[in-house]
Amino acid sequence: MTQAPNVYDAEPIPEAARAEIDRLLQSGDLFRYTAPQDAPVALLEREFAEMMGSRYALAVSSCSAALFLSLKALNLPKGARVLLPGFTFAAVPSAVVHADCQPVLAEVGPNFRVDLADFAAKLPDVDAVIISHMRGHTSDMDAIMALCDAANIPVIEDAAHSLGTVWKGRKVGTIGKIGCFSFQSYKLVNAGEGGILITDDADLVARAVIMSGAYEHNWKKNMGLAESFVKWQNMLPLYNMRMQNLSAAVIRPQLGEVARRVRDGRAGHDRVAAALNLSTWLDVPPPLEGEQRAPDSIQFNLVDMSDEDVARFTEAAAARGVKVQVFGMSDDNARAFWNWRFIEGLPELPQTRAMLMRACDVRLPARLTEDELDYISSALVGAAEAAKGAAAA
Ligand SMILES: *Cc1c(COP(=O)(O)O)cnc(C)c1O
């Protein structure tokens, strides 16, 4: 192979989506609450909950909307403090701000996971926790749940990019009180945009359903929880973050693809990780014990490289056709906490900053062939050699 593979193109949407989309276009039935029952969005919610082994699911317009509604459904007081990792996507602290809460950032270690000492130190001062399993990296959920349960602090799992990841036999997103997932195009299931939240808590999901925009008696079409719904009807504002039927029609046939995408994505990731770890200059942190990853990208650290070496490395990789993003080295990266200037009293996180200055991100969609994966590995290892060779010369 002499040409770098395209890592941005999505997989085709399964053929089965077409007939359903055609039916919806024919009838114009795009709103989830028009059909008396079994609208595509309602069916998706049932299928997704069943796939995850959760009682309830609520499909919404994005994972950010799911996070926002989760915080609102927890009935937190205005100004409540919400602890989240300092390494996540800007939409997560944004959802906290949008929900009238104050983000508190926990340090993240060189293995991309929450620093438990810093987390434990900050926990006594917060009202809720969001754990972002960033790029599918699962933090130690046993330790986190033990600390949060002891302090009676609810945990929302931001599993936007972690569908299919398993922690000690449990599906990520089912460990905390609420799990949130994204269907944006760069995630494992692609609807362009979309999100879903899952929980076993009836009263909490009823609040989220109403606030998502189930006005009047539309909640009857979500799930049979009349007691909770009657209690909360007209007591909560409507934010109108519903999913529409076309999105559900695109998502439902992809649920059957999840297991294959997880298997292939993991195999591809592990193949590239093994190759990169042979290089002195590249380090892919191993999974935590008990974590089964579901990656569609790879993150690795540059070892013993100066800022100039890092710049030479990314240039050399680009010259080989592989775009590497060093999280902290671009001007406006949405995953670099110092760019979240909308947070009042934005803290400094030295450990997270040091990680972001050397942590690299390369997309590895599950559809890549072994040849394509090997091309990427060689390009990255070659680029590291070139960067360090130039430094030595
Ligand atoms: C993509 C992503 C989000 C946001 O998801 P949207 O559906 O685009 O709102 C939140 N958190 C993480 C970790 C993500 O990767």
How far, in Å, are 67, 144, 250, 331, 351 from residue 14 at the CA level? Answer: 28, 38, 8, 38, 43
Residue with the two structure tokens 């193949």: 271
Provide φ and ψ at 274, rounded to 5°. -60, -40
In angstroms, rounded to a whole number, what is the distance separating the alpha carbons of residues 185 and 188? 8
Using the predicted structure, report yes or no on whether residue 209 has a pLDDT greater than 80: yes
Span 286-318, pLDDT tens digits: 999 999 999 999 999 999 999 999 999 999 999
What CATH number does residue 193 fall under? 3.40.640.10
In angstroms, rounded to a whole number, what is the distance separating the alpha carbons of residues 273 and 284? 6
- Does residue 384 sit in the same domain as residue 314? yes
Using the predicted structure, report yes or no on whether residue 164 has a pLDDT greater than 80: yes
Residue 296 in any domain: the answer is: yes
Query: What is the pLDDT confidence band of residue 393, given thresholds at 50, 70 and 90?
Result: low
Ligand 1 pocket test, pick from 131, 132, 182 with the greatest ligand atom count within 8 Å of Cβ, gives 182
- Does residue 251 sit in the same domain as residue 262? no
Averaged confidence pLDDT in the chain? 96
How far away, in angstroms, is 173 Cα from ligand 1 center?
14
Residue 199 in any domain: the answer is: yes
How far away, in angstroms, is 137 Cα from ligand 1 center?
14
Question: Which residue's C-alpha comes closest to atom 6 of ligand 1?
Answer: 63
Residue 1: per-residue pLDDT: 58
The total of structural domains in the chain comes to 2
CB-CB contact of 359 with 328 (8 Å) = yes
- Does residue 96 sit in the same domain as residue 199? yes
322 vs 217 pLDDT, higher one: 322
**Domain coverage including residue 23:** 16-256
Using the predicted structure, report yes or no on whether residue 360 has a pLDDT greater than 90: yes
Question: Which residue's C-alpha comes closest to atom 10 of ligand 1?
Answer: 160
Using the predicted structure, report yes or no on whether residue 359 has a pLDDT greater than 80: yes
In angstroms, rounded to a whole number, what is the distance separating the alpha carbons of residues 217 and 285? 50
Using the predicted structure, report yes or no on whether residue 391 has a pLDDT greater than 80: no
- Does residue 221 sit in the same domain as residue 268? no
Residue 319 in any domain: the answer is: yes
How far away, in angstroms, is 85 Cα from ligand 1 center?
14
In angstroms, rounded to a whole number, what is the distance separating the alpha carbons of residues 91 and 93? 6
- Does residue 248 sit in the same domain as residue 269? no
Residues 34-51 have a mean pLDDT of 97
- Does residue 195 sit in the same domain as residue 116? yes
Read off the amino acid at residue 117: A
Query: What is the pLDDT confidence band of residue 45, given thresholds at 50, 70 and 90?
Result: very high
- Does residue 131 sit in the same domain as residue 95? yes
Residue 186: per-residue pLDDT: 92
Query: What is the pLDDT confidence band of residue 389, given thresholds at 50, 70 and 90?
Result: confident
Question: Which residue's C-alpha comes closest to atom 5 of ligand 1?
Answer: 63
Ligand 1 pocket test, pick from 67, 137, 187, 327 with the greatest ligand atom count within 8 Å of Cβ, gives 187
Residues 307-336 have a mean pLDDT of 95
Residue 128 in any domain: the answer is: yes
The binding-site residues of ligand 1, defined as CB within 6 angstroms of any ligand atom, are: 62-64, 88-89, 91-92, 132, 134, 158, 160-161, 182, 184, 195
- Does residue 191 sit in the same domain as residue 281? no
Using the predicted structure, report yes or no on whether residue 214 has a pLDDT greater than 70: yes
Residue 4 in any domain: the answer is: no
Residue with the two structure tokens 């808590």: 201
Residue 189: per-residue pLDDT: 97
Q: What is the 3-state secondary structure (H, E, C) of the chain?
A: CCCCCCCCCCCCCCCHHHHHHHHHHHHCCCCCCCCCCCCHHHHHHHHHHHHHCCCEEEEECCHHHHHHHHHHHCCCCCCCEEEEECCCCCHHHHHHHHCCCEEEEECECCCCCECHHHHHHHHHHCCEEEEECHHHCCCCHHHHHHHHHHHCCCEEEECCCCCCCEECCEECCCCCCEEEEECCCCCCCCCCCCEEEEECCHHHHHHHHHHHHCCCCHHHHCCCCHHHHHHHCCCCCCCCCECCHHHHHHHHHHHCCHHHHHHHHHHHHHHHHHHHCCCCCEECCCCCCCEECCCCEEEEEECCCCHHHHHHHHHHHHHCCCCCEEHHHCCCCCCCHHHCCCCCCCCCCHHHHHHHCCEEEEECCCCCCHHHHHHHHHHHHHHHHHHHHHHHC
Residues 133-157 have a mean pLDDT of 97
Side-chain half-sphere of 269: how many Cα atoms within 13 Å? Answer: 27
- Does residue 187 sit in the same domain as residue 39? yes
Q: Where is the domain boundary, 256, 279, 314?
A: 256
b/e string for 265-299 if b means 16 or more Cβ within 10 A? Answer: bbebbbbbbebbeebebbbbbebbeebebbbbbbb
Residue 11 in any domain: the answer is: no
Residue 239: per-residue pLDDT: 98
- Does residue 235 sit in the same domain as residue 317? no
How far away, in angstroms, is 392 Cα from ligand 1 center?
41
CB-CB contact of 136 with 130 (8 Å) = no
Using the predicted structure, report yes or no on whether residue 143 has a pLDDT greater than 90: yes
What CATH number does residue 385 fall under? 3.90.1150.10
Residues 51-73 have a mean pLDDT of 98
Residue 7 in any domain: the answer is: no
Span 171-205, pLDDT tens digits: 999 999 999 999 999 999 999 999 999 999 999 99
Using the predicted structure, report yes or no on whether residue 3 has a pLDDT greater than 90: no
Residues 342-364 have a mean pLDDT of 97
Residues 25-30 have a mean pLDDT of 97
How far away, in angstroms, is 165 Cα from ligand 1 center?
16
How far away, in angstroms, is 212 Cα from ligand 1 center?
18
Query: What is the pLDDT confidence band of residue 348, given thresholds at 50, 70 and 90?
Result: very high
Question: Which residue's C-alpha comes closest to atom 13 of ligand 1?
Answer: 134
Q: Where is the domain boundary, 222, 256, 290?
A: 256
Residue 124 in any domain: the answer is: yes
Side-chain half-sphere of 241: how many Cα atoms within 13 Å? Answer: 28
Using the predicted structure, report yes or no on whether residue 390 has a pLDDT greater than 80: no
Q: Where is the domain boundary, 231, 256, 281?
A: 256
Give ∠ CA 154-159-161 in degrees, rounded to 5: 160
- Does residue 106 sit in the same domain as residue 238? yes
- Does residue 48 sit in the same domain as residue 92? yes
How far away, in angstroms, is 63 Cα from ligand 1 center?
6
Ligand 1 pocket test, pick from 130, 135, 184 with the greatest ligand atom count within 8 Å of Cβ, gives 184
Q: Which of 57-71, 92-106, 218-232 has the lowest mean pLDDT?
A: 218-232
